Chain A
Amino acid sequence: MPRVDRIAEPWGTRTPYGPGEPWPVRVDEFLEDGVRAEDVDRWVQSASILHSNGDGLDIAVKGGRIVGVRGRAGDRVNHGRLGPKDLYGWQAGNAPDRLVRPLVRDGGRLVEADWDTAMDRIVRRTRELLDEQGPSALGFYTTGQLFLEEYYTLALLAHGGLGTNHVDGNTRLCTATAAAALKESFGSDGQPGSYTDVDHADVIALYGHNMAETQTVLWTRILDRLAGPNPPAVICVDPRRTPVAEAATVHLANRPGTNVALMNGILHEILAHGWIDGRYIEDHVVGFDELRERVEQYPPDRVARICDIPEERLREAARLIGTARRLLSTVLQGFYQAHQATAASVQVNNVHLVRGMLGRPGCGVLQMNGQPTAQNTRECGADGDLPGFRNWSNDAHVADLARIWNVDPLDIPHYAPPTHAMQMLRYVEEGSIRFLHVIGTNPAVSLPELHRVRSILSQDRLFLVVQDIFLSETAQLADVVLPAATWGEKTGTFTNVDRTVHLSERAVDPPGEARPDLDIFLDYARRLGLTDKDGAPLVKWNDAEGAFEAWKECSRGRPCDYTGLSYARLRGSGGIQWPCDDEHPGGGERLYAGGRFWSAPDQCESYGRDLVTGAPVSPTEYRALNPSGKAIIKAAAYVEPHEPPGEAYPFWLTTGRTLYHFHTRTKTAKAPQLQRAAPESWVEMSEADARRCGFAEGDLLAVETVRGEVRARLRVSGIRDGVLFLPFHYGYWDQPGGHEPEKGRGGAANELTLTDWDPASKQPIFKTAAARVSLVERGRGEPSKAPTTTASRPVTAPRDVPGTRGGTDAEAEESVITTGGAS
C-alpha cells in the first residue's frame, strides 16, 4: 500500500471522476508506530470529530488503548478518506496531561477532589442561587463537540428542569449564522443540500469558505472532480489566496465587511440578465419584488468600488453562477463571522431561490458548520433554540415540548429567544448570571476581546464550572473542574453538515476518574432531584441509547425526524441522513424538493428577524407575509462596517484557522505531527504591504488594535493588500502565562478582536477590525513557521522557506479501490 506524508499532502492522492459518476473509494489509515493492521485487537465504529465533515472511520484498539484510525470505505460521506486531523488527532486522548480527577478551588488554588465533593459543591451552589434569585442566575455554555444524547439531556435539565433560558453553545461562534440564514430563508433550520451535490454540480461557489482547510475530505471530493472529465467551475470569495482560490475559475478577494454589497452585485447581474426561474419564484417564493428593488441599487460598477474588486471579474462570477445548470453553493466563516453575517448568507440562499435550484442533484446549498456536532447542538436545543427545531415564539410548539417532557409549559422559558452566548457573558459581567457551567469549550481563548472575557470569568461573584478533558485556559479560572471522557471513550451519535447521522461507539475506557459528559449531566440532575410535573424523575434515561430513544420521540414530526433510526440501524451503516421516518426510511438525501418548505406559520422554527435590527418578526406579521409556507426572500442593503481602518489603524485585521489545528489547539497541539506543522502563531500580510512597510518574511511584528497587542512572525502571503491575518488557535495553556499573556504580551488573536455581533444570528464578528502593525525585531533570514501547504503559503522562493513536511512518523497508508466508476 502506498504511504503518503499527509502533513505534506493534506488531501492525499487524486482519484479523478466525472459528473454523475460515483466518487471512487480510497481508504486512508494511520496506526501508531510499530503497530500493523493485523496486530489490532478491535476496530470500533465512529466518525471524525475535529471538523464538521463527519467522515466515517473505525478506531483501532490494541491492549485497551487507541492506536490509530482507518476510514470506512462504505461511508456515504468520505468513501474511506480521512483528513490530517483525523489521522493524527486521536493521539490527544492518550496525552499524559488529561484531566483524570475533579478539581475544586480551595484557598484560591485548584486541588484534586473526589466526585462527591465536586458535585456537592456544584449542586449546593445551584440550590442556593435558585432559592435566592431563581433560574435567571444559572447559565450553561456548551460546545459543538459533545454527542446528541448529551445535548438533549442538557437541554432537558436546563430548560425543562432548572427553568433557565440561558443555554447556548460555542456553536454561536461557528454556526449560528448558518442556522439563522436557513431559518430566514426556509422558515426552519435544516441543510437543503447533500455532499453528493459535488458529484453533479457544474458550478461550485464557495463563499468565505476555505474548504480545503476546514473540511479537507469534502475538498478532496472537489479536487477529484477538478482532476476528472468535465470539471466544475469554482468560484471563491475570500480575501486570502487559499487553496480554494488557487483552484478557482474566478477568485473575488473583496474588501472585508463588504459581503452584502458583493452578493447584491451578483444578484443584480442574475436579475438583469433574466437568469431566473420565474415559474419557481411565482409558485414557491415570497419577497421577490423587494429583492428586485434592492439590488437595482447595486450595479457592478458601484459594487466593484465598494468591494475593491475588478468589475469584469464580478461580472464573470455572476455569469457563471447565473448560467450554471447545477449550482452548488457553500458558505462558512468568511461570511458567518463577518459584518452583516446573516444578511450576506441569506443572499446566497436567494441566488438558489431565484434560480429555482434546490432539492435536485447538484443543486444545493451547504450553509456549513465548523464543529463536528454543531448540528446536534442546534437540533437538541442546547444552543439558543428549542429541541426539535421548535419555535419559542409559538405557544403550540412549547406546549408540545412540555407534553413530551411532562412539565408545565410555563416551566420552559419562552418569554424571549434563549439567551445567546454574548448576552450571557454580558449578564455575567453585570452580575445577574452567577453560575456558569462551561462544557467542552474554551471561551478564555475563543471569544473576542480577551482581556474583557478574562475579567468577566475571573470575577469572585461568579461560580464557574468547567467540564473538559484538559486544563484549558478557561478551566484554570474555574471554581470546579470536572474531568470528562472524550470521543472513543463514550458512546453516542452525531450529525454532520449534510444531515448524516453516525454512531460513535466506546472503544476504550476514559482515563482515571474521567466520566462521559452524559453521565455527569445525569448525575447532576439526580443530585438536584429534578422531577416532572407528576413527581417522577425528569430525566427518564440512564444511558446513551435511552437518551437517543427519547430524542427520537422529541424529533417525531419535526424536520429533523430521527424516528426511523436506531443504534442497531446505525451500527455497521455508512451513515444515514435525517429526515429518517416512515416517509424516508433510508433517510432523505435533499430537502425542499418540489419547492416544499417547513415554513408554514404553524410549522416553522422561526418567524425570522429584521436583518439590520435583529428584532424578531411577530407571529401576526409572519402570517401576513407568508401564509402558505413558501420560501422567503429577504433583501438587504449594504451597511458600512463598524470599525473601518483609518489613519491610526490603517489595516483590516481578519482572523481564521489553519488546516492543522482545531479550535484552541487543546487537542491538535497534542498530536506531534499536527503541532509541528503549525507550531506557533504568525501574521500574514501581502507582498506589496510588506514592501511598503519595509518588513520581510520572518520579522517579528507587533499587531495592535485599540484593544491590545499581539506579537507574531510575519508570513508574506497571497492575502489581499490592506488586510492582516492572524490564526485564532493559539492561546496560553502551553505558555508561561498559563491562562493569560505573560507581561502583557499577548499571542492570542482574540486579544485584538472587537466585541460586536450580527444582530440576527448573534454571531460575533472576527473578520473586521482596524489594526496597525510595527516591527519588533528583524527575522534575520529565519522564516515564520506558518504552514507552506495552505493559505499561508509564502510568496517567497521555496528555497527561502522550507516546505511543511510531516516526516516518516506522518506517513499514512492509502489504498485506492478501483471500481468501474472512475474514468
Chain B
Amino acid sequence: MKFDLVLRELHRSENELAHVLLRLSERHKADHETYHVARDLVGWCHDHIRELARAGKDYGLDLDPSPASDTTLMRAVREKAAEWLGRAPELSLLLLADFRHLYLVASGVSLDWELLAQAAQGARRKDLLALAQRCHPETLRQMRWANARLKDSSTQALVS
C-alpha cells in the first residue's frame, strides 16, 4: 500500500495549485474576472488540503491542514512566469501564458486524484474513494476554467 505516497503528492500538488491561482489573481488584478474567480477557486484547493490532512492521519502522515505559504518550491513557478513576462511584455499574452500554466498544474492535480481513486478502488477503501469523488470534480472544473479562459482570451491577444 502506497497511500501515503499518493496523499503526500496530492497534498503537495493542491498546495501548488492554490499558489498558482493566487499568483494568477495577483498578477492580473486589472483583469477583474480573472482576479475574482481565481480567488474563489483557491477556496476549493484549501478545502481539499484540509480533507487530505485529515485522511493522511490514518496513514501516519502529518500533513498541514492549512495551505502552505510561499516556499522555495514555489520559486520555480514564479521564475517560469517571469520568463514569460520577459519574452512577452503585453499583459494579454502574459494572461495566456498564466492560464496555460494553470491548466497544466490543474491537470497534474486531476491525475493525482485519478491515482488516489484507482488505488482506493483496488484496496476497497470507501473513505478515500469518496474523498476523490467529492474533490476531483472541482479540480476538473478548475481545469475547464483555465481551458475556457484560454479559448476566449487567445484570439484577441493573438490577432491584435
Contact = CB atoms under 8 A, between A and B. Distances in A.
Nearest to A643: B36
Given A610-B141, A755-B32, A137 B152 contact: no
A615 B144 contact: yes
B160 A137 contact: yes
Interface in B81-131: 90-92
Contacts of A585: none
Contacts of B43: 639
B156 interface: yes
B72 interface: no
Contacts of A426: 31-32
A136 B30 CA distance: 21
Interface string A420-436: 00110011011010000
B151 A614 contact: no
Interface string B21-35: 000000000111100
A540 to B, nearest CB: 29
A822 interface: no
**From A165, A417, A610, A639, residue with most partner B Cβ within 10 Å:** A610
A614 B37 contact: yes
Contact of B142 (A165, A613, A755): A613
A757 interface: yes
A756 B92 contact: no
A-side binding surface: helix, strand, loop or mixed? loop
Contacts of A416: 151-152, 155
B5 interface: no
B138 to A, nearest CB: 9
A217 B43 CA distance: 45
Given A416-B151, A426-B31, A759-B37, A615 B141 contact: yes
B160 A133 contact: yes
A423 B37 CA distance: 15
Chain A interface residue bracket vs B = 20 to 34
Contacts of B31: 426
Contact of A136 (B144, B145, B160): B160
A615 B160 CA distance: 23
Nearest to A429: B30
B62 interface: no
B41 interface: yes
A427 B30 CA distance: 11
B155 A759 contact: no
Contacts of B142: 613
Interface in A121-147: 133-134, 136-137
A430 B148 contact: no
Interface string A743-774: 00000000000011101001000000000000
A335 to B, nearest CB: 18
A130 to B, nearest CB: 12
A417 B90 CA distance: 23
B16 to A, nearest CB: 19
28 contacts: A133-B159, A133-B160, A136-B155, A136-B156, A136-B160, A165-B155, A415-B151, A416-B151, A416-B155, A417-B152, A419-B156, A429-B30, A610-B144, A610-B145, A613-B41, A613-B141, A613-B142, A613-B144, A614-B37, A614-B148, A615-B141, A615-B145, A616-B148, A639-B43, A642-B40, A757-B32, A757-B33, A759-B36
Interface of A: 133-134, 136-137, 165, 415-417, 419, 422-423, 426-427, 429-430, 432, 610, 612-616, 639, 642, 755-757, 759, 762
Interface of B: 30-33, 36-37, 39-41, 43, 90-92, 141-142, 144-145, 147-149, 151-152, 155-157, 159-160
